[in-house]
Structure 1
């Protein structure tokens, strides 16, 4: 009986890991939770209960940690996702697509171009939609769902459309582009990985309010302890867990967004084989954390991130200057920046695409990079203190990401069918020969 239970438990865990490893399924689960959060927060029957749950505070005794559940999902649970990102980044930088900068130069530059263009479009669109009004000191103000907002306050969201959600973009590829060559997926993976790294730097630089300096000594001590512990032949996991939690607390106290503790310790994990092990520890740990990240941290974060209440969730909300600016920045700005950078780097800079790829082949995948979602939600909550603006920004990210996913899905499906026809024609010629 015991062995049967173990077999069933192992089979269930294997099934969970397969679902988490599927870009398609994990992406759909996260999207479902995001839509459920939006509905629960705005249905009259559930809105009050959902808000009460979101705002319920949970405190850690004898500390300054006293956060509502919604913030625990953002600042605490999302750390698992960022730890996975840190481990993946370390592996890519050590032995993966980023280990050879020359081979990865074009997608790396495209990631930069894809982060620069959306903020420019965002600020330009908000300025175009702005109107002069009775703002303080004659400031340019915007009318958004009945409220007049100074332009300077609105423009604080410039960083919201900079991020690409790697999980969702790969989910779109898995759903609509089964016949695409691996080089396109590798290009997107490299681009999105660099995008993640740049987004992490952006959060650390622009959305951290630094406090007392001595907390950074604690962070450095935790980092050193983690680096030593995870290199031991037998890793003392209770000690590692304590060090990781302390690093998170010290990040929080220092004023740096605490999820970056996950990135820090992930980057300090060995990405080459040690002690005769068959696989690198960073790769192995990322694989073990993936189910918790894809099926717990991200869905719960998406549930609370989109669970914002609007007094009137109507089509008129789509006319909000903030929503329009984010849609344009994500749907137009991302592919525009990526494609322009790819063209300039290959036609002017003399760099080369992967063998068999042309710049125009990347357009459908570039459109998929307009799916902001996870990190964009996080930046929206950090950029705006005004609850109304934060809510509208997250709504704009959701709508813009869905539009980008739909456009890229159609284009990727057509591109995949073209590759299928070309492959079939090639096989036919081979048989006739």
Structure 2
């Protein structure tokens, strides 16, 4: 049974659909008349840790507590990628790394531009903006959500890739994984810098002590798991008390875990721990977080919600801004910056995958709850993230499917050409005078045209690649 659970958790497609199902369930349960009150009661039930100042409702425990497992996975994955993975070779990973930066810079610009247009031209008047429930806020209040559309959800984007792009080359998947990994790192830095309110210095001293003890314990030949668990919980408490978002404790201890083989082990500890934690993250932490993150009650789910400045700004930023930033950066770095993509991959081939990067979801939900102190603004921001993610998933799904079909057609054409070459046979006959005659089957005009077209495509690709390098 445990092996089956691990296989389900390891499937980007299944785990992504489970998380989406929980997100939609949260939105429905929080707004149906006969379930809204019960859902709100459960979400607001307080749970405290004895002898500490930590007293949070269950909804916040899902965000600040359970989500730490996901961030621990991110930390372990980052450490492995930085040591032996795609990020260990900066030259090879330069283009997707820079594309991740471009994909995080353009969405805030578009979000602020859209909301500024609402502030200037839409009612109730200059400098003011009205959201779906009729409440009026200043442009500066709305602009606090600039960071919401910056993050990419790696699990969902890979799930879309797995669903619609089975025939795509591995270089596109590798590009998307590298980009999303760097995107996660940048989102972590953004949360730490812009959404932390620092408290007394001695809490940070406690964080350092926990980090050192963790690093020592996980490097022992026999890891004392009870002690490691206690240190991890203490690091989380220290982060919370220090004013830093506590989920970043998971990233910190993940980055301190060994990512190379030790004591004759068959695989690195960071990789093994990542695999063991995956079922808890994919099937427990993320679905429950998505349930409470989207479980926000609206006064009325009306069409006015879809034209709210916050919702429209986030949709435009994620659906348009993400792929726009990635594609512009990819073109500039390859055509002007002198960098190159993997052989056979062109900038235009990245468009479907870059559209998948508009799926914000997990980290965007978290930033939405941190960016806005007003509950209604936070609710609209999370609704905007959900709508933008669904739209981006639909667009990227269609584009990836078409791209996958094109690659399948090209592969079929090449396979047919090879078969034609293999089918060519020599027929040897002996004449009456003893002379041997060799007859070779000729190509048809259609076969010759296919071979010439294939060779021409290969020459063009090689020439483009040589020009770039």
Q: Please state which band the TM-score falls in when normalised by the shorter chain.
A: over 0.9
Question: Quick check: 1:142 aligned with 2:126?
Answer: no
Match of 2:26 among 26, 34, 37: 37
Residue of structure 1 in register with 2:16 after alignment: 27
Question: Quick check: 1:97 aligned with 2:111?
Answer: no
Match of 1:67 among 56, 69, 90: 56
State the SS of the aligned residue for 1:211.
Answer: coil
Question: Quick check: 1:224 aligned with 2:196?
Answer: no
TM-score (norm 2): 0.89
Q: Distance in 1 between matches of 2:291 and 2:261?
A: 38
RMSD, aligned CA: 1.2
State the SS of the aligned residue for 1:98.
Answer: helix
Q: Distance in 1 between matches of 2:73 and 2:182?
A: 14
Match of 1:377 among 365, 379, 387: 365
The alpha-carbon deviation at position 130 of structure 1 amounts to 1.4
Distance 1:134 1:333, change over 3 A: closer
CA contact (8 A) 2:123 2:130 kept: no
State the SS of the aligned residue for 1:67.
Answer: strand
State the SS of the aligned residue for 2:261.
Answer: coil
CA contact (8 A) 1:165 1:371 kept: yes
Q: Distance in 2 between matches of 1:221 and 1:128?
A: 49
Q: Distance in 2 between matches of 1:302 and 1:13?
A: 23
The alpha-carbon deviation at position 132 of structure 1 amounts to 7.5
CA contact (8 A) 2:123 2:129 kept: no
CA contact (8 A) 1:132 1:141 kept: no
1:217-262 deviation line (CA, Å, top 9, x unaligned): 0000000000000000000000000000000000000000000000
State the SS of the aligned residue for 2:298.
Answer: coil
Residue of structure 2 in register with 1:367 after alignment: 355
Q: Distance in 1 between matches of 2:41 and 2:120?
A: 37
Residue of structure 1 in register with 2:198 after alignment: 210
State the SS of the aligned residue for 1:304.
Answer: helix
Match of 1:402 among 387, 390, 400: 390
Match of 1:416 among 404, 416, 426: 404
Residue of structure 1 in register with 2:376 after alignment: 388
Q: Distance in 1 between matches of 2:204 and 2:102?
A: 32
Map 1:233-252; keep pairs closer than 5 Å: 233-252=221-240
Q: Distance in 2 between matches of 1:205 and 1:246?
A: 22
State the SS of the aligned residue for 2:146.
Answer: helix
TM-score (norm 1): 0.96
1:307-344 deviation line (CA, Å, top 9, x unaligned): 00001012221010110000000000000000000000
Question: Quick check: 1:163 aligned with 2:166?
Answer: no
1:24-79 deviation line (CA, Å, top 9, x unaligned): 00000000000000000000010000000000000111111100000000000000
Q: Distance in 2 between matches of 1:123 and 1:49?
A: 37
Q: Distance in 1 between matches of 2:354 and 2:15?
A: 21
Q: Distance in 1 between matches of 2:261 and 2:249?
A: 24
1:81-132 deviation line (CA, Å, top 9, x unaligned): 0000000000000000000000000000000000000000000000011148
Q: Distance in 2 between matches of 1:180 and 1:155?
A: 39
The alpha-carbon deviation at position 141 of structure 1 amounts to 1.1
Map 1:2-401; keep pairs closer than 5 Å: 12-131=1-120, 140-145=127-132, 146-401=134-389
Q: Distance in 1 between matches of 2:298 and 2:416?
A: 58
Residue of structure 2 in register with 1:5 after alignment: none
Q: Distance in 1 between matches of 2:119 and 2:104?
A: 24
CA contact (8 A) 1:132 1:140 kept: no
Q: Distance in 1 between matches of 2:357 and 2:4?
A: 29
- Greater Rg over alpha carbons, structure: 2
The alpha-carbon deviation at position 134 of structure 1 amounts to 11
Q: Distance in 1 between matches of 2:55 and 2:350?
A: 46
For structure 1, list consecutive stretches of 5 or more residues without a partner in the other structure: 1-11
Residue of structure 2 in register with 1:6 after alignment: none
CA contact (8 A) 1:133 1:140 kept: no
Q: Distance in 1 between matches of 2:206 and 2:325?
A: 39
Q: Distance in 1 between matches of 2:375 and 2:418?
A: 63
Q: Distance in 2 between matches of 1:204 and 1:27?
A: 26
